Structure 1
């Protein structure tokens, strides 16, 4: 790259806009002095913020993992999961989202705060779902048709909801009024809400309830449930369980005190007692419903409970099995505990893979056994068989949620997250969704997990470097690792190649980057650290006697930067320059020689945060400050222009093929985050366009999307992965089921019955389905290649429940053995090998095959029967004696007394019909002639 002897400190720079004085009318102002003023065509200062239309974006992940347990449909074919402001309907058999229920919003409506908090099935209509939200809206859905039937606004945040068949068109909720800045008030109330609107508002879109009756006040409610008989309503909040008799709701609650804060509740399916979990890991069974005082208002009581304890951390969820004999519990330990209530014994299903947040039980039906559905913190749904106590199947989705660990330092909205795009596989490198360690028992402070702070991938996609750190405390030493991984193209995995412990000593690593490595240049890695050094690393190759040469990374050079801590490093596109950002300047190095080429001091920027090369040629350098953006021309050694923004500049992303780039501006308010994206050209300080997106970002990088002028991928503040770009919806199709759709009766997920496992599917059912011209979504999605083990599960049942073996043989064999395809009938028959010594000058024999298209009449069939009777049942096979043995049917293998023996071709041919020892039907229209030879293979037909 061309360089000049002109140094940056000799170039006149414009003053900060805040210090520029207006020129006087006499023309004697300082700005008029040509010796101190920069040319206007070179420097442009802009403070204006144009209007910001919305930019196209689509989400690749879920924004939240709901704490609400999924609800099953009555037949167990589907379950409902709350995701943000929508309800997703999953097929149990396939795990796919078949429909999504979302309340229609007007254009420009911000639904980020309208989060769904609860959902229940209507006890009087099994095809209706009722949901509650933070916005205080109760919605009634017909999920079969995917239509919204009714919306009722109660103007209070709905936290929990329960229903019972004894109360028609009525729901019971715990609600709180919104506090300041969107914070929900701790003081709540239990309400009885009628879903019937008043006559005057029956035709309006959003209706009001005709009757809302308060039952009692609660503080920080965490659960609400009905007894199976409907005679008792129980709410848990803080250290108390609030019990009310539904026969006299106006009498209010009786309060029962718990020694620990309660976290979850579950009612026994048939008896009037309930179980609660607390924050210390204890489970209590409450038998207090039959001993309520006559006047319960304002009464706090203690009652005898049965306590069960295993969990070391708060119990996240509880659920009784359908028969009421077992209680399921789970939490942060990633272990499902099954309690046998009558004996107190327990069983464990460990190593689930992630903390358990919810537990749901699907009732056993005629088409399947009872199953437990576990909702995990990493957005995975795992099904556990009640009989085997094993995870039968699990459905995972992309999820980034470090907030699953309380008080984790990465939960800050200002913390960054590693993000990179792997070009070889077109995949994203994202941070792990949950830590691999749990907290210590009886300690509120979590164990700080080892996490990846930064990641970089080479342009070829063969190498990746990560920075792994773990903060230390009084008990654990801090850790810092530089890990370099190599992509194995055969296996499709990243393999750790080199690990460097504490590459910058006890100081933190501030940045890491791999060089572009054009053809013919070695690949280099650069790291910057808090020890005020910049280090480069290279690949070393050593010979290996027993195999191919071995490659690993070693330190190449270390450069000290005069007691200044570098914050950012950037490579030029041709890897000829390395820009290192210091607090108040940017220095340019030549990586091949480690020589300092230039030092750019930009007083108008103040503190400098980063510097990026712009364009395919890398002629320009964009220097980013807190609110300032300066473009420097490396060839002319001049400031092209200066842009001052009214918002904080969060990141800069350069276009890889054009001389354009974008800057990401932080949201103006943390309560309602809304970022702006400004796209710039190197020719002007004014952005070519300014766009807005309804969230803030932790990190954003370039995403190579075809036919899009600018496309990005980023991680938002609420740990959602989104793709942004011009016309992004046309290039990133949505997943099937992301919109509301009708669930027809024939589209129910197919589940095989025991009868079908034994005798197979009904041919009449398949023909009827084909005749209707429709195929269910589930049946099409669960079709898999034949493995030969489809009928093996039949033998897993008890022997006395199985049918006789003669009934099983034919259906199982038809499943194990693949029938011959129709086109195979035209192939020649299998040749039967019979080693016979032939005379050297024997004439070639031509076999005439039988045409399979010829119709066999009764006369010919009768002749065949007579032949069979004459030569098989009555005739005796002649015996030919030989020196070495005998052979029936007159055939002698081998030589007798040194003479080659064979049966004359005319032997045993009554009526001209041959009678070989083995009959092989040849379906070919023509048979090839046998080849002459001393010894050859003979085929009979």
Structure 2
């Protein structure tokens, strides 16, 4: 079983000590990416629930160790160079956030004899049962991971729900946001038994969203939901410094505390406002001279701390989430809401590489009635095409679990506004993956100005899609419900809710006398309708000789060449939204939605229903060269079964209504199914077999996916060999001498020394072996054996 499509930006990533690896929380695993190639190197697998934090152990010797926390209630210690789990600590409480201030404290404050690893965790108290008071599930507790780990009984703070913790770069302060308050604690020494020594609260009139600490000074910045950034300077002067012998300012000296509210413990408070929506990202530069911020606008803002002047990195194309710096001062990472992590070259802020996960589902599903989030599959290559928020299509490899490229359906920049004006409602691929059809809808403004556009795309020489034909309002003012391609010819059909369908033919199909046309555009070949009923689905048979179009509750069969109605098949109790030919087109599947949903198998020889189920079907797919098909269904509440969920994948044989196999799934709403004809010798090995086989891919509503063998008796493990993966080039790259002067020639000890470059033809090779330019000399490990061999006298041994 192969899984992928995880969210890369649910938590902040972390760099390795040498800056060559980026550790990313991806579901229940931690994915380790190469910053040089942006590709996956390894995974830390072991947690049984979502990983919420990853903290790399700092070291000057490039030690590859890290700590991770998870909602499964455990903290694990890893060596991610192997990778291997070294320790497991279980606390039985879901951990939503973890920071380790002892890693950041100055060296003189660390205990060299027995270093303590002091962590603060934000846990969810699932045992809270007091119903008389308002239940608070979030608790901040202290934990020493160097000893026998256990959660401390002292609770720093309780909240209604767990939040994220933030630690200062110096390791001296710990902070969190709670509605309109900013809580800051002073972290005691690592040897102290107390959880924290002192605490202050900073107030605001709006809800906080994020905070950041200055690396060297007592300065804290926080962003709110309105886009404002507040900066408190010299916070904790009275609370943190008064007991340490410092003379803090008087608490009643209001005139000396400009901008500070409610007599908070800070010397001043400055407000900056540029963002139009809530601030999601705040981070101080390593030298403390700049403050980085970001939000929904998709613009990375660099503030000069002393003057407040701004500089921008615009047009990133997605809301910003996290920013982390690297031990390598030339690298940083920027996480975006579109499931991408950009590697930045500092200080120019140039994006040099991107780690692209699958794009999240559209947020505009309820805005337009014709929008479909169903992914389009290329069944031969294992590539899926999905709509993106920035009016594009992303092509994602299910086998490699990485984004390949994107095409822009509508040329529009990212707009940080809540009002959506354009929606890509549909994407469909041809059987061989060489053609694509997309539908985009420009929403009307106050009921005026709506526009539906149909585009056909062809693969270019670079194996990327480019627009071939653009058609405005192909079905008058009606929305397009479906697009389907002919299995062998350049013919497509589009159906509409307005009650008609149109056959589109590429000019290559109608060229005469073998003449090659310079223009390969598409044109309308025929138009059909049936009693003005809304047509919600269409499909070609396996050989393309029959076209099935769903007209409300009936299925109409057409001859696509002559555009003649052949037959009308049955009637269902609800409108038909999907039709698929199965087997060798001996059967036809139909899916009805509404108050009486139904899955029906129709016999094409008898033009009658063969068998049916009253099930709510989300997706259906038929196996290639087989009589099997799979459906993604919702079981009714009255249906009693032993499955964990009412969302299920059922595998059927066309001639038998009893399912062959079933799998319980989650997040089926908006999900998709597809059988893949995997070409495994180049990509994967299943159970030691490399022969091509049929796999089933399931993509859920969050676009997480799993690919498995539906015919195996047990779930087979899909081992990805990736023989042509560029990671191998980076892993076996040149280091040391070879990285500067190149590879040295290989010395064959069995050959005559006259063939050596440096030895020449001399019979005394040691005289010239060490001569020449220093950058041309091979290492001593190669010269030593030659030198010693030249000093030995060769004698011929005779065996009596």
What is the TM-score when the length of structure 1 is the normalising length?
A: 0.62
2:503 to 536, 557, 568: 536
Shift of 1:95: 3.3
* Pick aligned residue for 2:51 from 83, 102, 116: 116
Contact 1:134/1:159 (8 A) holds in 2: no
* Structure 1: distance between partners of 2:636 and 2:69: 30
> Would you say 1:474 and 2:442 are equivalent positions?
no
Of the three residues 140, 151, 160, the one matched with 1:191 is 140
CA change 1:324–1:584 in 2 (3 A) is same
- Within 5 Å, give how 1:91-106 maps onto structure 2: 91-103=34-46
> 1:62: which partner in 2?
5
- 1:187–1:503 distance in 2 versus 1, CA, 3 Å: farther
Structure 1, unpaired ranges of 5+: 1-56, 105-110, 203-207, 739-746, 772-821, 826-851, 857-941
* Secondary structure at 1:289 match in 2: coil
Corresponding residue number in structure 1 for 2:321 = 357
Deviations 1:155-192 (A, max 9, x none): 24424534334693432233334699xxxx99554422
1:359 and 1:638 mapped to 2: Cα distance?
60
Contact 1:223 1:264 in 2 (8 A): no
Q: Is the 1:135–1:158 contact (alpha carbons within 8 Å) kept by the matching residues of 2? A: no
CA contact (8 A) 1:197 1:210 kept: no
Q: Which residue in 1 is equivalent to 2:388? A: 432
2:539 to 551, 570, 576: 570
Alignment counterpart, residue 311 of structure 2, candidates 332, 347, 350: 347
CA contact (8 A) 1:373 1:382 kept: yes
2:558 maps to: 589
Partner in structure 2 of residue 684 of structure 1: 656
| SS of equivalent to 1:703 | strand
1:330 aligns with 2:314: no
CA distance in structure 1 between the aligned counterparts of 2:495 and 2:280, rounded to whole angstroms:
42
Of the three residues 397, 416, 421, the one matched with 2:378 is: 421
Aligned to 1:383: 343
Q: Distance in 2 between matches of 1:154 and 1:286?
A: 38
Corresponding residue of 2:473: 502
Give distance in 2, aligned partners of 1:657 and 1:737.
29
Q: Does 1:400 align with 2:359?
A: yes
Q: Residue 443 of structure 2 contacts residue 451 of structure 2 at CA under 8 Å; is this kept in 1?
A: yes
Larger radius of gyration: 1
Q: Report the Cα distance in structure 1 between the residues aligned to 2:17 and 2:546, rounded to whole angstroms.
A: 66
2:121 paired residue number: 173
Contact residue 123 and residue 141 of structure 2 kept, 8 A: no
- Superposition deviation, residue 464 in structure 1: 2.4
Residue equivalent to 1:713: 697
Q: Tell me how large the CA RMSD over aligned residues is.
A: 4.4
Distance 2:565 2:516 in 1: 41
3-state SS of 2:535 partner: coil
Question: Matched residue of 1:562: which SS?
Answer: coil
Partner of 1:73: 16
Q: Distance in 2 between matches of 1:585 and 1:762?
A: 71
Seen in structure 2, the aligned counterparts of structure 1 residues 673 and 448 have a Cα distance that, compared at 3 Å, is: farther
Aligned counterparts of 2:472 and 2:305: Cα–Cα separation in 1: 51
1:524 has 2:524 as partner: no
Q: Distance in 2 between matches of 1:94 and 1:551?
A: 37
> What's the offset of the Cα at 1:729?
5.6
Match of 2:222 in 1: 276
The structure with the greater share of residues assigned to helix is 1
CA distance in 2: counterparts of 1:505 and 1:751, whole angstroms: 62
Q: Per-residue deviation at 1:75?
A: 3.7
Q: Give the aligned partner of residue 131 of structure 2.
A: none
**Matching residue of 1:654:** 622
Judge conservation of contact 2:96–2:163 (CA < 8 Å) in 1.
no
Q: 1:723 to 1:132 in 2, by over 3 A?
A: same
Q: C-alpha deviations, 1:526-585, integer Å up to 9, x for none?
A: 2111111122222346899x9944332222333232242122112222323222223322
Partners of 1:262 and 1:276 within 8 A in 2: yes
* Distance verdict in 2 for CA 1:730–1:193, change over 3 Å: closer
Counterpart of 1:212 in 2: which secondary structure?
Answer: coil
Distance 2:25 2:723 in 1: 17
What is the distance in 1 between the residues matched to 2:500 and 2:538? 12
Relative distance call for 1:720 and 1:323 in structure 2 (3 A) is: same
Distance 1:662-1:150 versus aligned 2 partners, 3 A rule: closer
Task: Kindly indicate whether the alpha-carbon contact (under 8 Å) linking 1:170 and 1:192 is maintained by their aligned counterparts in 2.
Answer: no
Q: Which residue of 2 aligns with 1:485?
A: 457
Corresponding residue for residue 332 of structure 2? 372
1:324-382 CA-to-partner distances (Å, cap 9, x unmatched) read 22222223333322222233333222233543321111234xxxx43222123344332
Q: Distance in 1 between matches of 2:454 and 2:649?
A: 33
Task: Report Cα offsets for 1:607-648 as digits up to 9, x if no partner.
Answer: 5443332222x22223334554433332234443x2425x52
- Name the SS of the counterpart of 2:237 in structure 1: helix
Aligned to 2:586: 619
1:726-779 deviation digits (Å, cap 9, x = unpaired): 4696766266999xxxxxxxx9997989x999x64798xx99xx99xxxxxxxx
- Tell me the number of residue pairs that the alignment of Structure 1 and Structure 2 aligns: 664
Q: Given that residues 189 and 215 in structure 1 are in contact (C-alpha distance below 8 angstroms), is that contact kept between their aligned partners in structure 2?
A: no
Q: Pairwise mapping of residues 172-321 of structure 1 onto structure 2 (< 5 A)?
A: 172-177=120-125, 187=136, 189-195=138-144, 209=150, 211-218=152-159, 223-228=164-169, 230-246=171-187, 253-287=199-233, 288-292=235-239, 301-302=263-264, 304-321=268-285
Q: CA deviation at 1:122?
A: 4.7
Q: Which moved more, 1:330-339 or 1:245-254?
A: 245-254
Matched, 1:601 2:570: yes
Displacement of 1:268: 1.1
Q: Go from structure 1 to structure 2 and tell me whether the alpha carbon gap of 1:272 and 1:855 turns closer, same or farther (over 3 Å shift).
A: closer
Contact 1:613 1:622 (C-alpha < 8 Å) held by counterparts: yes
Q: Is the 8 A contact 1:222 1:262 kept in 2?
A: no
Q: Distance in 2 between matches of 1:476 and 1:187?
A: 50
Distance 1:229 1:751 in 2: 36
Corresponding position of 1:86: 29
Q: 1:144 to 1:579 in 2, by over 3 A?
A: closer
CA contact 1:402–1:410 (8 Å) conserved in 2: no
1:276-320 superposed Cα distances (whole Å, 9 cap, x missing partner): 222222222212221349999xx9655631223332332222222
Counterpart of 1:550?
Answer: 519
- In structure 1, the partner of 2:578 is 610
Matched, 1:451 2:424: yes
TM-aligned CA distance change 1:138 to 1:478, over 3 Å: farther
Query: With CA pairs under 8 Å and 6+ residues apart, which has the higher RCO, 1 or 2?
Result: 1
> Which residue in the other structure is 1:724 paired with?
708
Aligned to 1:151: 89
**1:376–1:578 CA distance, 2 compared to 1 (3 A):** same
Supply the distance in 2 between the matched residues of 1:643 and 1:613 (Cα, whole angstroms). 15
TM-score normalised by L of structure 2: 0.72
Distance in 2 of aligned mates of 1:680 and 1:225: 52
| 1:501-521 CA-partner distances (Å, limit 9, x unpaired) | 121233221111122346xxx
Give the corresponding residue for 1:163: 101
CA distance in 1, matches of 2:135, 2:226: 21
**Deviations, residues 230-282 of structure 1 (Å, cap 9, x unaligned):** 54332212221012344586787533212332222221111122222222222
Once the two structures are TM-superposed, the CA of residue 479 in structure 1 deviates from its matched residue by 3.1
CA change 1:176–1:351 in 2 (3 A) is same
* Alignment check: 8 A CA contact 1:189 1:217 kept: yes
Cα gap change, 1:585 to 1:186, in 2 (>3 Å): farther
1:450 is paired with a residue whose SS is strand
- In 1: Cα distance, 2:368 partner to 2:33 partner: 29
2: CA distance, partners of 1:275 / 1:682: 63
Q: What is the alpha-carbon distance in structure 1 between the residues aligned to residue 704 and residue 10 of structure 2?
A: 17
